[in-house]
Amino acid sequence: MSDLSKGKFITLEGGEGVGKSTNLRFITQWLESRGIDYVQTREPGGTPLAEQLRTLLLEKRDEAVDPTAELLMVFAARAQHLSEVIKPALASGKWVVCDRFTDATYAYQGGGRGLDRALIGQLEQTVQGALRPDRVLLLDLDPEIGLQRAATTGEADRFESEQSAFFSKVRAAYRERAEAAPERYALIDASQPLEEVQAHLARELELIAGTQ
């Protein structure tokens, strides 16, 4: 948690097909209904430069992408995003609701790609300093179910085209981080009916708002 922020920094995490888009809309509607000023953003992305890096990261290509190159692009986008969007919004007292953040890097590049977690940690410290989300809302779902859901949303990008073993590692890495720090993570069963998922999200948001 950051001592620089006046606002609240909330991230929504999870693998493919967990329902992040639907639940992001629920979160922002919840904030609007309570008159809470917020910024909604995403990673990779959130600024013109970071969105260009997102395109480079997601598009399929004949050239194999070196995992370390991928990791550095992720953190380059994050550095720009923090500087231009996240830190100013928090400093002005706004909530920031971000579709994925550094937990996704530990999950996808650390778990999925098998990169050294210590290297990710070094880059995290360099780029973010003390800044961490106030609460990570982690939508958890069996990857096989998630991939079936994701297959109905359009053509797969470079990450979505990975094999199921990759996504099993991603899920395991996410769960490992959530279980290691339950005070910062809300592990939400995304296999439940949507009403139950959103009831859990609402409870979490009430708790976060109550700490202001």
Strand spans (E) along 5-161: 9-14, 38-42, 95-99, 135-140
The H-assigned helical ranges of the chain are 20-33, 48-58, 67-81, 87-91, 102-105, 117-128, 143-150, 164-180, 194-209
Is 28 within the bounds of a domain?
A: yes
Number of structural domains the chain divides into: 1
Is 2 within the bounds of a domain?
A: no
Is 1 within the bounds of a domain?
A: no
What does pTM read for this prediction? 0.91
State pLDDT tens for residues 95-123. Answer: 999 999 999 999 999 999 999 999 999 99
pLDDT band at 158 (very low <50, low <70, confident <90, very high): low
In this structure, what CATH number is given to the domain that contains residue 48?
3.40.50.300
* Structure token digits, residue 82: 């923090």
Residue 176 lies in domain: 9-209
Is 55 within the bounds of a domain?
A: yes
pLDDT band at 172 (very low <50, low <70, confident <90, very high): very high
Interacting residues of 193 by C-beta distance below 8 A, sequence separation 6+: none
Is 3 within the bounds of a domain?
A: no
